[in-house]
Structure 1
Amino acid sequence: MSLIRTGCPTWTHEQWFGSLFPANTAKERSLEAYAKYFNSIEGNTSFYHIPDEKTLQRWADQVPNDFRFTFKFHRSISHDKKLLNIEDDLHLVLNRMALLGHKLGCLMLQLPASFGPQQLDTLAHFIRLLPSDFRYAVEVRHLGFFDKSNNEKALNQLLIENNINRVIMDTRALFACTANGDKIIVDAQRKKPKVPTHVIATSDTPLVRFVGHPIIQANKPFYTPWIHKTKQWLDEGKSPYLFFHMANTFDAPWLAEAFFSDFKKLYPDTPIPSIPLPKMHINQLDIFGL
């Protein structure tokens, strides 16, 4: 059965206590509170630190049976060693993440912008090391993989042959806004990749990372095509992963809610996640129609 997995890049934010979560929610139970709204998470913590066994077990115990974690490979594999001589690191990550059992949805390899087409053979060798009992996704940021040349075709073919998702990064809404000196937006535009949004499903669980405009309503023209594409994927029997980012992470759940609210209006008969969030805080920019 095809279905949508959706969530945010974190399950906790200090301002969610008293807004998204009840004010008395214990911080160590924030994942449990988050999982009342979302059925997946884009876990960035594993990129910086590999969780220990007890931590992974505690996380698995806090979410329902149908929840799926998406974790990143540690940066020692992707950034420090650039996929070379990483067998020991890979063994550690895979054994550790296996503790999540069926609640592990996908492992994401996020490659640096310096990793280009000339290293495609290195990526192919890395993929051959991966056991087939996990799902994987690869995010590339080198512009040589976005020029619709033989380099991009070779990458896509490699991923298709190995049933691995090519992560689709959509930052158009973020870069469509003017920062006006807002440090949070300036920082997000500096860190997020400004790469073309090439829509392709190289596996049966396509993965989209949508980075939004700071004004929720301004995202509609950017995410509406994703509603139609998601519906098409569902009709094809695929189970897409949709993760919603904002410059201010606080706003991410309400961006997801807006997306699925409009999805339901366009396709009322399609089963989709229900995200009945508390009423959104008033955005000062909205008051002035900006």
Structure 2
Amino acid sequence: MADGRIRVGIGGWNYEPWRGTFFPPGLPKTRELDHASRQVTAIEINGTYYGSQKPETFAKWRDAVPDDFVFTVKASRFCTNRKILAEAGGSIEKFLTQGITELGAKLGPILWQFAATKTFDEADIAAFLALLPDKQDGVALRHALEVRHDSFDDPRFVALARRHNAAIVYADTKYPTLAEQTADFTYARLLGSVEAEPLGYPAADLDRWAETARQWAKNGRDVFVFFIAGEKARNPAAAMALIDRLRTSA
């Protein structure tokens, strides 16, 4: 079986310190997505976590990027920042019907980020996963779960994710690093880039991430790697450096 597609990107595309560094001097703000989508191969949309968007906005984003580009979408906080996830049905429906399917073939996985205070409750997580549909408006959906509490380091959670073909997000720092492959794709959020490094990470670390991504992509598994560090000034450079390594080794 051929290896899966590896996509590498950043979170969002509107960040003032990127102007004059990642973005060319004088580039209009209305062209930032156009430029960013030609330097990286995926972008994680974070604004959907804080508020809903209009269908025409998703359509505009879809039309601004190359044909083989993919957006992942961070689910609304109203779906995941709650004590009882099993009660999120209404919020999930509202999130999924706001227009994300306007992205069409450019819609990648949906990221469901749980609060750091949310602990693992097998029944509650099972009920939540049962609320996540495989399709919306005829568009296939894939789901990634980002957990932030050590209690999720539990084989029962891994089994639930695998049963629903939901990827457990791989985080390289700060949060539980769960390396189990539970879906037909891998979703990694790399949080360790630092401003003191011109490429965000030392060269040896980027080499290691390139090899790790290639291993994840074995047997047809698609891979999504995002540089999401809070010190995000270097995230675009890190993403582009990883893309270069993957191209060189192809």
Q: Do they fold alike, i.e. is TM over 0.5?
A: yes
Structure-2 change in CA distance of 1:75 and 1:200 (3 Å): same
1:103-142 superposed matches below 5 A:
103-117=106-120, 119-133=121-135, 134-142=141-149
Task: Say whether the 8 Å CA contact 2:9–2:44 is kept in structure 1.
Answer: yes
Task: Say whether the 8 Å CA contact 2:193–2:229 is kept in structure 1.
Answer: yes
Task: Say whether the 8 Å CA contact 1:7–1:41 is kept in structure 2.
Answer: yes
Distance 1:238 1:205 in 2: 5
Secondary structure of the residue that 1:8 maps to in structure 2?
strand
What displacement does 1:246 show?
A: 3.3
Aligned residue in 1 for 2:138: none
Task: Say whether the 8 Å CA contact 2:200–2:234 is kept in structure 1.
Answer: no
Structure-2 change in CA distance of 1:260 and 1:35 (3 Å): closer
Secondary structure of the residue that 1:228 maps to in structure 2?
helix
Structure-2 change in CA distance of 1:82 and 1:73 (3 Å): farther
Gaps of 5+ in 1: 147-151, 172-193, 271-290
1:201-216 superposed matches below 5 A:
201-214=181-194, 215=197, 216=199
Percent identity reads: 29
Distance 1:143 1:47 in 2: 23
1:69-84 superposed matches below 5 A:
69-80=71-82, 82-84=84-86
Q: In structure 2, what residue type is equivalent to 1:139?
A: E
Distance 2:118 2:90 in 1: 21
TM-score, normalised with respect to structure 1? 0.76
Structure-2 change in CA distance of 1:58 and 1:82 (3 Å): farther
Q: Compute the RMSD of aligned alpha carbons.
A: 2.0
Aligned residue in 1 for 2:151: 144
What displacement does 1:251 show?
A: 1.1
Secondary structure of the residue that 2:209 maps to in structure 1?
helix
Task: Say whether the 8 Å CA contact 1:212–1:219 is kept in structure 2.
Answer: no
What displacement does 1:221 show?
A: 4.3
Structure 1 outlier segments of 4+, above 3 Å: 216-225, 260-265
TM-score, normalised with respect to structure 2? 0.87
Residue of 179, 182, 186 corresponding to 1:199: 179
Q: In structure 2, what residue type is equivalent to 1:256?
A: A
Task: Say whether the 8 Å CA contact 2:62–2:103 is kept in structure 1.
Answer: yes
Work out which of the two has the higher radius of gyration on C-alpha atoms and give 1 or 2.
Answer: 1
1:29-178 superposed matches below 5 A:
29-80=31-82, 82-96=84-98, 97-117=100-120, 119-133=121-135, 134-146=141-153, 152-171=154-173
Distance 1:88 1:144 in 2: 26
Task: Say whether the 8 Å CA contact 2:80–2:88 is kept in structure 1.
Answer: no
Distance 2:247 2:159 in 1: 34
Aligned residue in 2 for 1:282: none
What displacement does 1:157 show?
A: 0.8
Distance 2:243 2:41 in 1: 13
Gaps of 5+ in 2: 136-140
Distance 2:161 2:214 in 1: 23
Distance 1:205 1:73 in 2: 18
Count of aligned residue pairs for this structure pair: 239
